[in-house]
Amino acid sequence: MIAPTDAPAIASVETRPITIPLSRPWGPDVTDVRVIEVTVTDADGAVGHGFSWTPSIGGTAVQALIDTDLAPFALGRPAAPAWWDDAWRHLHEAGAGGVTTIALAGLDLALWDLVARRAGGGIPSLLGRRHESLAAYGSGVNLHYPLDDLVAQARRWVDAGFGGVKVKVGKPDLAEDVDRIAAVRDVIGPDRDLMVDANQRWRLDRAVAAADAFAPLRIAWLEEPLRADDLAGHIALRRETGVRIAVGENLHTEYRFREFLDADAAQVLQPNIVRVGGITPALRIARAVQEGGAELAFHLLPELSAPLALCLDTATRIEVVEDALFADLDALAEPTGLVVGDGRIAGGTAPGVGIRFR
């Protein structure tokens, strides 16, 4: 990687808002995703492209934070992703994470893209590829699906060769959740992993009841059963049920991940590369999770997470949400070089970060 002291200075930072309609809405209030494309140009004229991302809401706030606070701070600094901590300290009065780290991701990704392009390759060649392919699992935002649609989706995942699937839970009647999960288990058979995601819908007593009710169906993990910031609740849930807990998509800093790791409050940790602030902090978090003995499972954005995961010492599974790849949504200006097939994801040969929007 180019050393920060050798990198030309950042000459400009530009943003562009993009709304990408979802072909399968994630619910009545989530019908699109918002991308803020970030373009960095250095003093030599080299260009890097990154992006911030959020489902449906918050894009305007992210763009404003980049334009008014982050871009002026970046100008004149080295065009390399080495001063992420300085930028975080600059923004953290507006919040340690959330909008601030989502905004930071756009700049961080653009800088990684620029450096990788200067080096003549993509992220795997820059960081050093450790794996030719990784296992993927089928994932859906499907709590609003009727049972027949949910079962049909599970069949599509089986036909696509996925070795694991994840579905949503959190119906008002726990018995309906059990029936839906049982139907999916019948479709996928006994040998595939079945994960369930409650999206922070429950209090501790309901989560305990759900974990007990799902036990006969052999759940690989129970994702976000409680509010993501309820560390004590997750510790209690693990103690009372022994269920394998997954959290991380709504943890925004490496400090929060370390708290959950140190307390053994989650056995699967799921950083979203954009929400934590980009590749720079995601690499720290990923290494801490794997060194701490927990399972790493990046959240969403496989076209971003897979090239990074291909460079980690320990293999990790990649989440592929049905009809949510940027390529599937016809949002990309050029191919990423990634291929999903037979339940695996491989490739990642495109230059830079590998994601350019139309």
Express each pLDDT in 15-38 by its tens digit: 999 999 999 999 888 999 999 999
Query: In sequence order, what E strands does 140-184 have?
Result: 164-168
Q: Are 84 and 280 in contact (CB under 8 A)?
A: yes
Closest CA to 103 of 127, 74, 80: 74
pTM above 0.85, yes or no: yes
Mean pLDDT of the residues in the chain? 96
Q: Is the pLDDT of residue 3 over 60?
A: no
> Which domains occur in the chain, in start order?
4-118 (3.30.390.10), 124-347 (3.20.20.120)
Take residue 285 and report the two structure tokens written for it.
């978090």
Q: pLDDT tens, 269-280?
A: 999 999 999 999
Q: Cite the active site residues.
A: 168, 299
Q: Which residues contact 226 (CB under 8 A, 6 or more apart)?
A: 200, 202, 203, 204, 207, 233, 234, 237
Q: Is 306 exposed, middle or buried (0-12, 13-18, 19+ CB in 10 A)?
A: buried
Query: How confident is the model over 64-74, as pLDDT tens digits?
Result: 999 999 999 99
Confidence of residue 4 (pLDDT cuts 50, 70, 90): low
Residue type present at position 270 = Q
- Specify the residue for token string 């293999």: 315
User: Considering just the CA atoms, what is the radius of gyration of the chain in Å?
Assistant: 20
Region 213-223 average pLDDT: 98
Q: What percent of the chain has pLDDT over 70?
A: 99
Strand ranges, E, within 184-341: 193-197, 221-223, 245-247, 268-269, 295-296, 318-321, 338-341
**Residue 315 CA from chain centroid, whole number:** 16
User: Measured between alpha carbons, how far is 230 from 204 in angstroms, rounded to an integer?
Assistant: 10
Q: Which whole number is the average pLDDT over 71-85? A: 98
In single-letter form, the type of residue at position 165 comes to V
